[in-house]
Amino acid sequence: MSILPQIIFLIIFALAGYFLYKRVAYLKRNILLGKSESRNDQPEARWKTMLLVALGQQKMFKRLIPAILHIMIYVAFIVINLEVLEFVIDGLTGSHRIFAPYLGDLYGVAMNVFEVLAIAVLVSCIAFLIRRNVLRVPRLVKTELKGWPAMDANLILIIEIVLMVAILTMNATDQLLAARGIEGYVLLNGLFFSELIQPVFSGLSDTALVAIERFAWWFHIVGILAFAIYVTYSKHLHIFLAFPNTWYSNLKPKGEIENMPDVTKEVNMMLGIPVEGADEPPAEIARFGAKDINDLSWVNIMNAYSCTECGRCTAECPANITGKKLSPRKIMMDVRDRAEEVGKSIDQGGAGLEDGKSLLGDFITKEELNACTSCNACVEACPVNIDPLSIIIQMRRYVAMEESSTPAQWNAMFQNMETSFSPWKFAPTDRFNWADQLKNEELK
């Protein structure tokens, strides 16, 4: 028997591994364009969050129908990957269904389970395609999805359908060959779903069946490897990043906005409060707030790469619901797009961050930032704990403190607060007037 297929498999497998490694290194570098931020406290709570939210899909169940369709694909993805292990061993050693003799009857049971899951994936993917393209669920057809994002979503669903059809075709032809007593094929105790499509192939010759079986096998395994690489270019990256993303969740109350210690130091010095290390010159002239991705935290950029553009955030956003330009999903897509632009530029020896563009202005406008009510609906809605509000606040800080270009009415509010310690223009001495009114009332 020729070992050529094994050599080809080894080469494909090694190449896929190499490309994946390069892509992971690239993504890691892009994420680390963000500022460092330590989020390693409370490991117990972090594991728990990851198990519940990522592994357990807790937040998906706020919307029942997509949650059920999604969990079928998710379970299938995890379980069918066990079969991929067999594919790889078979590919490398030239064996065929290497686990079959070891598992005995259990092997047939496992294959039936895989087939049930393959059918579940088919059903879910078709349902998802219908939701996107026929029912046109509002959050799945918003303007920010026009072009590549919509194409990306449909491609993923179609690839998954094709991969599942390949598995079923492979099983159907393989079992036909086994039934005909061809050497090397293991007859299993009936595979429910693939037997249903056997009539399509039963009239073919042994040679044709072998060819189809082999083609389906190669198509499935090469397809999976190619898909793994494709995922790193796609919104579908959430299948891996959901885990670290939830582990590094913000565990503080959602209403709390991160303090800026640099500002505290200056404020304390202004107010004459003793400051530790006040004599040391500042290490570098820091920029207040975020203008570009390198001003954000690495967690913000990881959030962006974890986003699968489901739009639950945007569907819950009060600003978006009432027709404002802000869409939390677009904020995340913009951060990722800018990180991609900068990353590619750096790899090509280009200007990188110094390309004259920035996240603020070229991707996200002030109108979008100014529309946010900081209500945390987007944060609450995200199934993988992405925090668009953190990015919006950091960018507002840049606009307010570096550009001084907040809306005029906010400037007036700032001025009132500076002069009369209230956002409204009232005399601070009038703060207690309500009590006088109360006393007068009681006297009456």
Partner 1 sequence: MAEMATNGESPEILFWVGCAGSFDDRYKAVTQAFVKILNKVGISFAVLGPEEACTGDPARRAGNEFLFQMQAVANIQVMNGYEVKKVVTACPHCFNTIKNEYPALGGNYEVIHHSQFLQQLINDGKVVLKGGGEFKGKKITFHDSCYLGRANDVYEAPREVIKALDVELVEMKRCRSKGLCCGAGGAQMFKEPEPGNKDINVERTEEALATGAAAIAVGCPFCLTMMTDGVKNKEREHEVKVYDLAEMIAKDMGI
61: contact with partner 1 by CB under 8 A: no
For partner 1, the closer CB: 115 or 295: 295
375: contact with partner 1 by CB under 8 A: yes
d(CA 423, CA 416): 5
443: contact with partner 1 by CB under 8 A: no
CB of 426 to partner 1, least distance (A): 4
What is the SS3 assignment for 390? helix
CB under 8 Å to 76, separation ≥6 — which residues? 117, 118, 120, 121
Q: Environment class of residue 234 by beta-carbon count within 10 Å: exposed (0-12), middle (13-18) or buried (19+)?
A: buried
For partner 1, the closer CB: 81 or 419: 419
428: contact with partner 1 by CB under 8 A: yes
CB of 369 to partner 1, least distance (A): 8
For partner 1, the closer CB: 56 or 318: 318
Contacts of 82-89 with C-beta under 8 Å, sequence gap 24+, read: 82/110, 83/110, 83/114, 83/167, 84/221, 84/224, 87/217, 87/220, 87/221, 87/224, 88/13, 88/221
b/e burial code for range 219-233 (CB count within 10 A of at least 16 → b): bbbbbbbebbbbbbe
Contacts of 367-372 with C-beta under 8 Å, sequence gap 24+, read: 367/324, 367/325, 367/326, 368/324, 368/325, 368/326, 368/327, 368/330, 368/331, 369/326, 369/395, 369/396, 369/399, 370/396, 370/407, 371/319, 371/324, 371/325, 371/326, 372/319, 372/326, 372/396
Q: How many Å separate Cα 90 from the centre of its chain?
A: 33
Q: Which stretch binds partner 1 (CB under 8 A): 134-142, 298-306, 354-362, 428-436?
A: 428-436
Q: Which of 64, 143, 356, 434 binds partner 1 (CB under 8 A)?
A: 434
Q: Environment class of residue 135 by beta-carbon count within 10 Å: exposed (0-12), middle (13-18) or buried (19+)?
A: exposed
372: contact with partner 1 by CB under 8 A: yes
Closest CA to 165 of 125, 204, 109, 203: 125
The residue count for binding partner 1 (CB under 8 A) is 72
In one letter, which amino acid is 241? L
Q: Which of 259, 277, 279, 443 binds partner 1 (CB under 8 A)?
A: 259
What is the SS3 assignment for 291? coil
Which residues, numbered 395-424, are part of the site for partner 1 (CB under 8 A)?
Answer: 395-401, 406-407, 409-410, 412-414, 417-418, 421-424
CB of 268 within 8 A of CB of 275? yes
CB of 265 to partner 1, least distance (A): 10
For partner 1, the closer CB: 16 or 393: 393
CB of 13 within 8 A of CB of 224? no
In one letter, which amino acid is 25? A
For partner 1, the closer CB: 243 or 288: 288
263: contact with partner 1 by CB under 8 A: yes
Site string for partner 1, 312-351 (x = CB under 8 A): ----x-xx-xxxxxx-------------------------
359: contact with partner 1 by CB under 8 A: no
CB of 309 to partner 1, least distance (A): 21
Q: Which of 189, 202, 374, 419 binds partner 1 (CB under 8 A)?
A: 374
275: contact with partner 1 by CB under 8 A: no
256: contact with partner 1 by CB under 8 A: yes
For partner 1, the closer CB: 254 or 344: 254
CB of 144 to partner 1, least distance (A): 16
CB of 119 to partner 1, least distance (A): 34
Q: Which of 38, 207, 437, 440 binds partner 1 (CB under 8 A)?
A: 437
CB of 374 to partner 1, least distance (A): 3
Tokens representing residue 278 in the block:
């006040």
- Packing angle between helix 388-401 and helix 328-347, nearest 10 degrees? 80
CB of 380 to partner 1, least distance (A): 5
CB of 363 to partner 1, least distance (A): 17
CB of 203 to partner 1, least distance (A): 56
45: contact with partner 1 by CB under 8 A: no
Q: Which of 31, 176, 379, 391 binds partner 1 (CB under 8 A)?
A: 379
